[in-house]
Structure 1
Amino acid sequence: MEEIDLALPGELYQGYLFWHQADELATDVVNYAMLLDTEGKVVHRWDTDLNGGGHTSYLLNAGGLLRTGIRDRRYVAGQPVAATDTLQITDKTGKAVWELSAEDLDFNGNKITFHHDLSPLPDGNILVLIYEEISPEAAAAAGWTAGEGKTVWSDGVLEIKPDLEKNSYEIVWYWRFVDHMIQDRDAGAANYGTVADHPRKIDGHFPSSYAPMNAVRQHLNAIDYHPGLDQIVVSSFIYNEIWVIDHGTTVEQAAGSTGGRRGRGGDLLFRYGNPATYERGSENDRLFQHQHDANWVDAGLPGAGNILVFNNNTGLGGVTGVSGGAAEAAAAQEQLKGNSNVQEISPAVDEGRYVVGEAGTFEAKRIWFWEHEDFFAPFQGGARRLPNGNTLLTDTVGRRVWEVAPDGGVVVRYKGPAPAFKAFKYAAEQVADLLE
């Protein structure tokens, strides 16, 4: 650790900091991970044979990692930001004990890459965000005018069941953006309609133009799972929204608008942050701007069941398209100025269904709001609740992690050796096997 500024020692959560190197724009980084003690000393390190930025890794109960990265850069060439080709489960040293290449997946006959985020499930399965490469013809058949390139990328979620003994896998569930569109441009397509009449579907043409890659129109950047609800929350960078979908569906139900535990199929159960995306609000109603790391506060923690959103609150500022490497990308990011915030919300629910209010928008109560004049994270970043009620915030670009008390006070500031997408803190008993 390069620097630690402990401002409120009596309020510090005494734990070990998990720090995984990643940077969305500087994709030539090595994605190793470290565990640091309260003095910033590295007490454990997981090395890697992968590279690639723009993602995080997760510490598993056995002391290994679930991570994604790039093995064959040729396979991800030309893909959207943060694309990777490899999933791994590792042992305590970082050595892979299970690995899956996206190139080996047969998914609707289309090429896919993994990207940005993934989530380990309680049963050992893995949820991972994907780009699905579909043809302009397939997009047009869905009424989707997505760009002039040779391919179009549709975001989605895969659930993969790994078999560590056989180093094999099974795709057990998936959700595809292209199955849940509404559009008002092509009257001949089956999903043609009035966007405002379908708040649970996604307008494939929002916003009307998104440079530089019109063929990428969702840019999901975070995923989290709620085991009690059996629901998934994702964050869409471009739509400036978070979306909740039902995991309690079959694959067939997830592709449709009916079925599953909530009867909505794979259509959105809840969306929040920017009602203009479904024409039930304006720019003045937007709450998020290029947010990351939407996640449910885990059971047993203060605020359990609420959703934390790390709101970067930034525009692109000319940084998009940086391709010169880590130094150039970092320099471009650091030119941006602004003020990020963290929002904790509690969606309005009535008899298990998310409430659409009289204004026609999904409702939620803001539980906690935090911002600081010296805290700005232009890209990536995360917010995670700690057992003592503090919240751990990550500024990827600034290589900073702040721990913040419930009253907003800054407890400690860490300055790390590398960018991190999301940092975590673990109690000593949770990582005891790694401290020997």
Structure 2
Amino acid sequence: MKNIRLFILFFLINCCFTIGQNTVGILSNTANSFVGYTLFTSQKETYLIDNCGRVINQWTSQYNPGNAVYLLENGDLLRAAKISNDYINFGGTGGRVEKFDWDGNLIWEFEYNDQNKRLHHDIYPMPNGNVLLLAVTVIDNADAIEAGRDPNNLVGIDLYNEKIFEVEPIGNSGGNIVWEWNIMDHLIQDFDDTKSNFGEVSKHPELLDINYLGNSAGKANWLHFNSIQYNDALNQIVISSRLMSEIYIIDHSTTTNESSNHTGGNYGKGGDFLYRWGNPQVYNHGTEEDRQLFGQHFPYIIPNGLPDAGKIILFNNGYTRTPDFSQIFKLSLPAISPGIYSYDSNFPYGPLVPDFIYTNPIDPSLFSAGFVSGAQQLPNGNILICNGPIGNLFEVDTSGKTVWEYINPSTKNGVWEQGIRFDPYTDTNTVFRATRYALDYLAFEGKTLIPGNTIETGSSNYNCQLLSANRNDFKNITIYPNPVEHNLHLKSIKTIRKVEIYDIFGKLVKTYNANNIKTLNVSYLKTGIYLMKLYDGLNYSINERFVKK
């Protein structure tokens, strides 16, 4: 009788939970969430959804992701795609890049894919219209040994090399390669003194030890770069190596010839590493105890105008760590001046610890993603986190509280139905990365943005409301005088209830809170350019710039 009562109790609890809470799609949306449109790719579909999980736009490809995707300022979609290759296969491979217009028409395609080379993981849309691409190429064992590789550390007949190149799109198909960088040009080793790159590893942190195996166990895929992100202000590229558990910064201002050497470019080091961080034992500056990164993804320098601008944010997966759990890091770059990083040969590159660490506040093991994933710094200070393996997107505020959460309902076996519980590890709803775009992002100018249905089928059990104003309500905002010396006046249809002022480096200078802000006394500010973020009280914001005389 006792077991029957327990079964009935369990049934009622499970029944009520199922009825009362969504199982997929939007799980929560609070007033503290940053209002915008979230972009992600799942299977052959790329979705742009609002904060209630309703589809704003959708693009369909013939191919599964390969893996990154970006919404460009003109409304076009740039997407990596996966095509077949019988010779080069590992997690994250692709081989193809596609560009679609807002209406879903394919307007450009580029392939770099055969038995000797393959695009993989990340791409990046450059400000000049070109595209940065990440590719693996094959070098045979003879060339690997010539580069100083210990033959005992070779498995099979090939070793994979990593390179980055910039392509200028040509017409509807193809492009010109206008810049290249190759890790093979920046190797060191202390195994074979007959080779030209023989040297003391610890004295050359600007180079990579070709005999450090990391988590590759000597396999051909020994580096597994999984991210390339470009910083326009510094003209630098941030690279992530999953199997080295390191991040690197290189100079993009070089010519292709300079990038293959050790001098040249704005920073004078050619294509050598300007900075590295995460696992100092790779360059003999520490032990496993000093390691801080574990198979990380998506490191990038936070752009100017955002909170913590100039810092690196990344998703630290926890791959191979015991116990297994994931974290979000923010770390300050040890910059002597913009783009030039300090280094003491007696110590590894700083910082010793990140400035900010997020993990699950209740139990670290509850937040764990062994692969893919990412984190995005949002304008309001929140962070959008993608727990990729289980398609879980969630946003946390500065205190670590979850203020928005979503489960991707699109899987390799079809779209999930609301109210029915599935196993994401079986059905596979993986999301490589997710990006939230503000409502005033240029891509949305002149577009008809009418929310459609949710991706999942069935009825929602969550009464989601967009806690924001119409983006057009802020269209006619006026700030004057500009430049300003003393009082800055604000004129808007909407009631402005909060204003944040940031300096040109993205540092928050002052916050104003009031029921109806119309005038700001900025006489205390130093002469210069400032970014002003205005809020309407419903978490919708818009950015304006002004000059302080």
TM-score relative to the length of structure 1:
0.86
Residues 1:429 and 2:440 are matched in the alignment? yes
Q: Helix, strand or coil: the match of 1:363?
A: coil
Letter in 1 for 2:110: L
Q: Helix, strand or coil: the match of 1:429?
A: coil
Q: 1:113 aligns with which of 111, 118, 122?
A: 118
Match in the other structure for 1:379:
371
CA drift of 1:76 comes to 4.8
Residues 1:10 and 2:17 are matched in the alignment? no
Counterparts of 1:415 and 1:224, CA distance in 2: 26
Counterparts of 1:434 and 1:268, CA distance in 2: 45
Contact 2:216/2:223 (<8 A) preserved: no
Match in the other structure for 1:340:
326
Counterparts of 2:165 and 2:314, CA distance in 1: 22
Q: Helix, strand or coil: the match of 1:426?
A: strand
Letter in 2 for 1:406: T
CA drift of 1:130 comes to 0.6
Please report the RMSD computed on the Cα atoms of aligned residues, expressed in angstroms: 2.1
Match in the other structure for 2:245:
240
Match in the other structure for 1:36:
49
Match in the other structure for 1:349:
335
Contact 1:76/1:84 (<8 A) preserved: no
Cα–Cα, structure 1 residues 11 and 254, in superposed 2: closer, same or farther, change >3 Å? same
CA drift of 1:125 comes to 0.9
Q: Deviations over 1:261-285 (max 9, x none)?
A: 1111111000001110000111111
Contact 2:310/2:333 (<8 A) preserved: no
Counterparts of 2:179 and 2:265, CA distance in 1: 13
- Of 177-186 and 421-430, more deviation after overlay is shown by 421-430
1:12-411 alignment, distance < 5 Å? 12-21=33-42, 30-53=43-66, 55-71=67-83, 73=84, 75-103=85-113, 111-145=116-150, 147-163=154-170, 165=171, 167-207=173-213, 210-211=216-217, 214-315=219-320, 338-352=324-338, 353-357=340-344, 359-364=346-351, 366-372=354-360, 373=363, 374-411=366-403
CA drift of 1:62 comes to 2.2
Letter in 1 for 2:347: G
CA drift of 1:355 comes to 0.8
Contact 1:294/1:307 (<8 A) preserved: yes
Counterparts of 1:115 and 1:304, CA distance in 2: 28
Contact 2:382/2:398 (<8 A) preserved: yes
Counterparts of 2:147 and 2:87, CA distance in 1: 26
Q: 2:431 aligns with which of 420, 424, 432?
A: 420
Counterparts of 1:286 and 1:297, CA distance in 2: 23
Q: Helix, strand or coil: the match of 2:285?
A: coil
Q: Helix, strand or coil: the match of 2:142?
A: helix
Q: Deviations over 1:121-141 (max 9, x none)?
A: 111111111101112222122
CA drift of 1:77 comes to 3.6
Counterparts of 1:283 and 1:316, CA distance in 2: 11
Contact 1:403/1:411 (<8 A) preserved: yes
Question: How many residue pairs were aligned?
Answer: 398
Counterparts of 2:107 and 2:86, CA distance in 1: 23
Contact 1:56/1:421 (<8 A) preserved: yes
Counterparts of 2:388 and 2:125, CA distance in 1: 22
Contact 2:34/2:378 (<8 A) preserved: yes
Match in the other structure for 2:521:
none
Match in the other structure for 1:332:
none
Q: Helix, strand or coil: the match of 1:305?
A: coil
Counterparts of 1:60 and 1:69, CA distance in 2: 17
Contact 1:377/1:396 (<8 A) preserved: yes
Contact 2:390/2:431 (<8 A) preserved: no
Cα–Cα, structure 1 residues 306 and 209, in superposed 2: closer, same or farther, change >3 Å? closer
Counterparts of 1:316 and 1:124, CA distance in 2: 40
TM-score relative to the length of structure 2:
0.69
Letter in 1 for 2:314: V
Q: Helix, strand or coil: the match of 1:179?
A: helix
Contact 2:214/2:243 (<8 A) preserved: no
Cα–Cα, structure 1 residues 419 and 228, in superposed 2: closer, same or farther, change >3 Å? same
Letter in 2 for 1:59: L
Q: Deviations over 1:337-378 (max 9, x none)?
A: 732100101111113421113633112363321110222111
Counterparts of 2:128 and 2:393, CA distance in 1: 30
Q: Deviations over 1:378-421 (max 9, x none)?
A: 11100001111111000111110110111222112211113211
**Radius of gyration: which is bigger?**
2
CA drift of 1:426 comes to 1.6
Structure 1 unaligned residues grouped into runs of 5+: 22-29, 105-109, 318-336
Letter in 2 for 1:2: V
Q: Deviations over 1:9-59 (max 9, x none)?
A: 2311111111212xxxxxxxx332101122111221110011255x12111
Q: Helix, strand or coil: the match of 2:372?
A: coil
Contact 1:125/1:160 (<8 A) preserved: yes
Contact 1:344/1:368 (<8 A) preserved: yes
